[in-house]
Structure formats: C-alpha cells, structure tokens
Amino acid sequence: MMIDRDRLRGRLFAVIPRRHHIRLARILINLGTIVGGYIRG
C-alpha cells in the first residue's frame, strides 16, 4: 500500500464526489500524522 500510495490516493479521489475532496484531503493528512506517530512510537 505504501508503495502505491499516490495511485491509491488518486483512485480514492476518483470515487469520492468532488464536493468532498477538501474534507478527504484533510482526513488523509490527519491519518498520516496519527499512523506515523503510532509507528514511530
């Protein structure tokens, strides 16, 4: 999953309606922060 992160993100944005893209981007950023902290911990 991490190798194809950009491809997965593109597919996710293609499936989600355009009006939710900003919210989805924020969720993905927060998930990256949370999961990254968990892995580092």
Q: 12-23 b/e with 16+ CB inside 10 Å = b? A: eeeeeeeeeeee
Give tens-digit pLDDT for 1-41. Answer: 567 888 989 999 999 999 999 999 999 999 989 988 998 88
Its pTM stands at 0.73
Question: What pLDDT does residue 6 have?
Answer: 87
Q: Do 12 and 4 form a contact (C-beta atoms < 8 A)? A: no
pLDDT of residue 24: 95
- The pLDDT score that the predictor gives to residue 1 is 56
Helix spans in the chain (H): 5-15, 21-40
**Residue 21: per-residue pLDDT:** 96
